[in-house]
Amino acid sequence: MINTENGTVIFDDNFQLKKGMTFDDFKNSRYYNNQNYKRLFYIYDLKLSRQSFIVGLFFRENKLYSISLILDDRTINQNEEEYRKQLHDRFLKENKINSIKNYRWGTLSSNYDRRSNISSIDIVYT
């Protein structure tokens, strides 16, 4: 679940990512595996509304700055990445979330980057 009131992402196993979360907070989670907070890193197979996602985390000055959610559908090949964006948009719509919106806690957007050929749901905290 993505709580649009405060920007908290609550996964099906109750693991939470939220604005203000520090890397030390993350280190106390079961998903910490010696990741380096100074680099973008990924967690695989996290369930959100019963769907599997690859979750990219980026910390800035030891605080969670952004989350990238990528629907983990291995049937989608590199030539179909724009289709994944459509799936992301559908996921957001089914959960009654706009695909691009500014909130008081930050922004949420569904994006497709042609240059890197990747689509993701991006949450950036301000």
d(CA 109, CA 2): 12
Q: Is residue 92 part of a domain?
A: yes
Q: Is residue 3 part of a domain?
A: no
Overall domain count for the chain: 1
d(CA 93, CA 41): 27
Q: Is residue 17 part of a domain?
A: yes
Predicted pLDDT at 80: 92
Question: What is the tens place of the pLDDT at every residue in 59-107?
Answer: 999 999 999 999 999 899 888 999 999 999 999 999 999 999 999 999 9
Q: Is residue 101 part of a domain?
A: yes
Element (DSSP H or E) covering residue 23: helix 23-27
Question: What is the tens place of the pLDDT at every residue in 38-63?
Answer: 999 999 999 999 999 999 999 999 99
Q: Is residue 23 part of a domain?
A: yes
Predicted pLDDT at 20: 97
Predicted pLDDT at 53: 98
Q: Is residue 110 part of a domain?
A: yes
Predicted pLDDT at 91: 97
Q: Is residue 15 part of a domain?
A: yes
Q: Is residue 4 part of a domain?
A: no
Q: b or e along 103-119 (b: 16 or more beta carbons within 10 Å of the residue's beta carbon)?
A: bebbebbbebeeeeebb
Grouping H, G, I as helix, E, B as strand and the rest as coil, residue 92 is helix
The residue segments making up the domain with residue 17 are 9-125
Predicted pLDDT at 74: 87
Place of tokens 């939220």: 18
